[in-house]
Amino acid sequence: MSGGERQEIRFEGAGVSPGMACGKIHVVRDDLDDVSRYRIAPSQIPDEIGRFETALIQTRMQILEMQQRIAESIGAKDAAIFDAHLLVVEDRTLIDEVLRKLETDLCNVEWVFQEVATRYAETLNKIDDPYLRERALDIQDVTKRVIRNLQGKAPKTFLALSELHILVAHNLTPSDTASMNRANVLGIATDLGSRTSHAAILARSLNIPAVVGLHDITAKLETGQHVLVDGSDGLLIVNPAPETIAHYAELESRRARVVSQLKQLRTTRSTTRDGRHIVLSANIELPEDVEAVAANGAEGIGLYRTEFLYLNRTTLPTEDEQFETYRKVAERVRPDPLIIRTFDLGGDKLAPGTVDITDELNPFLGWRAIRLCLENIDIFKTQLRAILRASAVGNIKIMFPMISGLEELRGAKAVLAECHEELRRSGVPLDEEIEVGAMIEIPSAALCANVLASEVDFFSIGTNDLIQYTLAVDRVNEKIAHLYEPTHPAILRLLRMIAEAAHAHHIWVGVCGEMAGDVALVPLLLGLGMDELSAGATSVPRVKRAVQSLAIPECRELVEETLKLNTSSEILSRCLELADKRYGDLLG
């Protein structure tokens, strides 16, 4: 591609961190030498063990140093990614197997360690579970680091590059992403990866445009070539033409203007053009996420996913620990509400050592959330007591996840009533009128919404699972991702059924799934009668602008029209039509 007219070439991948970057690339190919195998004498075993222990200590220190650096620059939540790496270097099963194999095989420790660790990673990789496949990547990452330390190698050279560049690699491990000189990395492009990979999560946190899943891009490009990375649409453009660069410059300028306008909405209310106020809340996972709630102009917290607090520990927190956490969050958002979802452990959210969850063939359809809590009453009561105690200092509401029918809901309410009575008898202050809600995320609950509505103060619709379970589509399975359709006619009918049941029993209904943060679907949700929308904090300004641009009658008319349509694409197209008419600049 050198000399003469250089042709623009486009490669398609998956955009995992939005924005545009333009510049020269640095192509990384793994420079780790092959691990050679050689025999050792029994008398050399102690020396090999010493080398191994030193390498593990070195690796642990490197991981802790990275974790500290990430925590200081972008927050503790992202630094927690490396907890899994620390677990690998401290895994007694893995270490003991290396020591056993060292004695039986009488080979150098690099070879033995690579054999054992690779077998572990391969076993996890074969399991059809995205969470476990991510753990396999953690093991591979740590394995390379330990071997690099055993070989006496310096850290990867590309991590110290001092000039501005776009990094192109086969795969970037979390440690690579965290260790690189971020000020000099304009963008990232990799052969492998998915939206849920650790590297993608960190790229988003660092606001570095990134495209992954480009297959064999490292084999096709050379260091020094000029490229443009479009992290929104998942494009990597080699030798971008002047008109392409001009087009992207205009897009970036437009995006910056929209962001600037949205900031001005922070203190305004989310009220439609015809005066209907829609409560606009934020979803959070960790206490430190509270900062972003007020910063983005949300009215409190519509979903606090409490289980995320406890996934990186081997024991569940005490009642006092939980009380302190909930109290601090409630104080920060009062008088706005804090809606706490009780533990949704199980499925892909496992807390090792906290609950004995045996392997299940279908964990997402298995022993999780309210099912697990109702069979572990002590764990459930500890959390409920902590929430009730915290309700004395803030506007706290409580909701139960994965309710499938009336018996489960009544069972959960009975345990709550028991905790309420125990605390009241002990003279502990609490909110006597605390609101209790049910998450509607299973089709059976949607179909029984009329019965459930008479037992609670509100409904919160978890659209992520409702769509997954209704359409029988695993939302993290790449092969069938195209079948995960929020505008499927069946979903539309279920949402209407839930909203009508809620209003017939004079309770409010909200949406706390990803649908609430999608501005293309806001007209549909308003037309269906949703009273509250709860989205990721950074999506709140866009949703607020959408709400302020719409009128309820036109949204209701949209729903009546879409209920006559038969396909997801027709319904989505009609939604986009109204959205584009009212706030087209947000759809770009």
Count of structural domains within the chain: 3
Query: What CATH number should be reported for the domain holding residue 13?
Result: 3.50.30.10
199: tokens are: 């590297």
Q: Is 408 part of any domain? A: yes
From the list 58, 222, 232, the residue with the least C-alpha distance to 145 is 58
Question: Do residue 288 and residue 323 come from a single domain?
Answer: yes
CB contact at 8 A, 380 and 371: no
Question: Do residue 467 and residue 322 come from a single domain?
Answer: yes
Domain that holds residue 110: 42-150
Question: Do residue 418 and residue 495 come from a single domain?
Answer: yes
Catalytic residue among 198, 448, 488, 555: 198
Angle at 534 between CA 529 and CA 537, to 5 degrees: 145
* Cα 439 to Cα 429: distance, rounded to the nearest angstrom: 27
CB contact at 8 A, 17 and 204: yes
Q: Is 318 part of any domain? A: yes
- Provide the terminal-to-terminal Cα distance of the chain, rounded to the nearest Å: 32
Q: Is 424 part of any domain? A: yes
Query: What CATH number should be reported for the domain holding residue 333?
Result: 3.20.20.60
Q: Is 373 a catalytic residue?
A: no
Query: What CATH number should be reported for the domain holding residue 126?
Result: 1.10.274.10
Question: Do residue 543 and residue 517 come from a single domain?
Answer: yes
Strands (E), 2-151: 9-12, 14-17, 20-28
From the list 548, 523, 581, 512, the residue with the least C-alpha distance to 264 is 548
Q: Is 3 part of any domain? A: no
In tens, the pLDDT along 276-316 reads 999 999 988 778 788 889 889 999 999 998 876 665 556 77
**Domain boundary pick from 121, 150, 179:** 150
CB contact at 8 A, 46 and 276: no
Q: What is the pLDDT of residue 253?
A: 85
- How would DSSP label each residue in 277-336? B-EEEEEESSGGGHHHHHHTT--SEEEEEGGGGGTTSSSPPPHHHHHHHHHHHHHHHTTS
Question: Do residue 323 and residue 409 come from a single domain?
Answer: yes
Identity of the amino acid at 370: I
Question: Do residue 242 and residue 126 come from a single domain?
Answer: no
Per-residue pLDDT of the chain (588 residues; tens, 9 = 90+): 444 457 999 999 888 787 899 999 988 876 555 677 888 899 999 989 988 988 898 888 888 877 887 777 666 666 677 777 888 888 888 889 999 999 999 999 988 998 898 888 888 777 766 666 777 778 888 888 888 888 776 556 566 677 899 999 887 765 566 567 778 899 999 887 766 555 666 676 567 899 988 888 988 998 899 999 999 889 999 999 999 999 999 888 887 887 778 888 888 999 999 999 999 999 887 787 888 898 899 999 999 988 766 655 567 789 999 999 999 999 999 999 999 999 886 544 444 444 554 444 454 555 556 767 777 788 899 999 999 999 999 999 999 998 999 999 999 999 999 999 999 999 999 999 999 999 999 999 999 999 999 999 999 999 988 998 899 877 555 456 567 789 999 999 999 999 999 999 999 999 998 789 889 999 999 999 999 999 888 889 999 999 999 999 999 999 999 999 999 999 999 999 999 999 998 886
Question: CB count, 10 Å around CB of 516?
Answer: 28
**Domain boundary pick from 123, 150, 177:** 150
Q: Is 390 part of any domain? A: yes
Question: Do residue 530 and residue 506 come from a single domain?
Answer: yes
Q: Is 575 a catalytic residue?
A: no
Q: What is the pLDDT of residue 3?
A: 44
Question: Do residue 128 and residue 63 come from a single domain?
Answer: yes
Q: What is the pLDDT of residue 582?
A: 96
* Cα 139 to Cα 144: distance, rounded to the nearest angstrom: 9
Question: Do residue 14 and residue 54 come from a single domain?
Answer: no
* Cα 327 to Cα 337: distance, rounded to the nearest angstrom: 12
Identity of the amino acid at 156: K
Q: Which residue matches tokens 């996913």?
A: 305
**Domain boundary pick from 191, 226, 258:** 258
Catalytic residue among 448, 512, 555, 575: 512
Q: What is the pLDDT of residue 461?
A: 97
Residue 32 DSSP label? P
Identity of the amino acid at 477: N
Question: Do residue 244 and residue 285 come from a single domain?
Answer: no
Question: Do residue 27 and residue 75 come from a single domain?
Answer: no
Q: Is 347 part of any domain? A: yes
Q: Is 1 part of any domain? A: no
Q: Is 26 part of any domain? A: yes
Question: Do residue 146 and residue 160 come from a single domain?
Answer: no
CB contact at 8 A, 510 and 341: no
* Cα 386 to Cα 398: distance, rounded to the nearest angstrom: 11
In tens, the pLDDT along 54-65 reads 889 888 888 887
